[in-house]
Amino acid sequence: MTSRRIAQNAVLLASLQLLRAEALQAEGRAGEADALRLDSPR
């Protein structure tokens, strides 16, 4: 696997995590949403 492909996969994974966090936040599950966000203080 090339480094470019690895970078693309990382971007896709981060995007999916952000979407999941947004969905959890919308459901009132803020704690779980914060755990997924990379920029969230823990």
Q: How many domains does the chain have?
A: 1
In a domain, 12, yes or no: yes
Structural domain includes residue 28? yes
- Rounded to two decimals, the pTM is 0.76
- Assess if residue 42 is contained within a domain: no
Model confidence over 1-42: pLDDT tens digits? Answer: 899 999 999 999 999 999 999 999 999 999 999 998 877 665
Structural tokens at position 38:
């990379």
Q: Which of 8, 27, 1 is nearest to 36 (CA)?
A: 27
Domain range spanning residue 22?
3-36
Residue 32 falls inside a structural domain: yes
**Which CA distances in Å does 33 have to 2, 9, 12, 37?**
31, 21, 18, 7
The reply to whether 16 falls in a domain is yes
3-state secondary structure at position 30: helix
Q: Is 41 among the domain residues?
A: no
Provide, for the chain, the percentages of residues in helix, strand and coil under a 3-state DSSP scheme, each rounded to the nearest 5: 75, 0, 25
Asked if residue 27 belongs to a domain, the reply is yes
